[in-house]
A and B are shown apart, each in its own frame.
Chain A
Amino acid sequence: MRRAGIALAAAALAAGVAHAEKRAIPPGELKSGSAFVGSDLRALQNDDFANPGMLWVERGEKLWSEPAGRKKIACAGCHKVQSMRGVAAGYPKIDKASGKLVNLEGRINACRIDRLGAEPFRYESEEMLSITAYLARRSLGLPIKASIDGAARAHFEAGRTSYHLRRGQMNLSCAHCHDAQWGKRLLSETISQGHPNAYPAYRMEWQTMGSLERRLRACLSGIRAEMLPYGSQEYLDLELYLAWRAQGLPIETPGVRR
């Protein structure tokens, strides 16, 4: 009887484990990209004044309260900036109105088109980088929280498939480096775990600020795979998977990276 009880409990536990998504990197071992850069870049990122990304954050602060579009209203006209604390940490998420998965860029542009009657910001434009950096900065230190329930579920599954898909001339998937080989050397670089918590980030290689999608494209180019257009569905799904994978890591925007 007692033995049967234990077996039952074990079966229930196993079922519980099977129900929770398997993580390649357990939560206790999650490391932000800043753990894989030199102490000089880490110091630069943590210096609120010298961090070059703060130039974009400051510009974003101005854009936030600048009236725009046909309706001549600003973001600040509807949203209290205090209410933005923690918001960026929850993207990408399902937009209630359209039922579609949107990232922070998509959310801002939806607001610009529908509420402001303004032109959308282009990906990687100074304006888009500035406003996303400013909003992500409002979540500084807060953990990434990605919801993969309900309508987000299908996007999560697609993102996971995309993450594990071998691509390009190198025939590598994201997982081959960032799940299986992180912490090891790739020429002069240390392979990171590939987390999105510092984006938009200032990269030395770019000598400027860039979005997470620009970073994804840089990886794709590195493995000689086809780069998708900005804002494509596959990137959005992948962003959701990355956010889930980094669940709990604090936001560091604007990160400073090699």
Chain B
Amino acid sequence: MAARIQIPREARRGEVIEVRILIQHPMETGYRHDDVGHLIKRNVINVLSCRYDGVEVFRADLSSGISANPYVQFYTVAEASGDLEFTWADDEGERGSERQAIVVKG
């Protein structure tokens, strides 16, 4: 599962930063049928979480209503230099993760 993260490389302490993630995933709803009429099993990313310097700062429970290749954006406060680490898992148990570092000054 490919993913892209976008955060500022540097920030001032206390600054509100924008965090964006885009994950490649079909987000199969479980409501569709294949060409011969069989129901396609639901397979969506059901949980996405982000830890900043080891502390969970964001968590989302996703479901069938979210489109393919989900894009999530949120804000957090830059407190210390460290990694933002995203982890997620889908209904089939496949896990993905991606991380990026931020340098906090001041």
Contacts and interface: CB of A to CB of B under 8 A. Distances in A.
Interface of A: 49-50, 52, 54-55, 58-59, 204, 207-208
Interface in B1-24: 2, 4, 6, 20, 22, 24
Contacts, number: 31
A207 B67 contact: yes
Contact of A50 (B2, B22, B24, B67): B22
Contacts of A208: 26, 68-69
A55 B68 CA distance: 12
Nearest to B73: A50
Contact of B20 (A50, A55, A207): A50
A54 B71 CA distance: 12
Contacts of B69: 52, 55, 207-208
Given A55-B22, A55-B24, A50 B68 contact: no
A55 B21 CA distance: 11
Interface of B: 2, 4, 6, 20, 22, 24, 26-27, 67-69, 71
Contacts of A204: 67
8 contacts: A49-B20, A49-B22, A50-B71, A52-B22, A207-B26, A207-B67, A207-B69, A208-B68
A58 B2 contact: yes
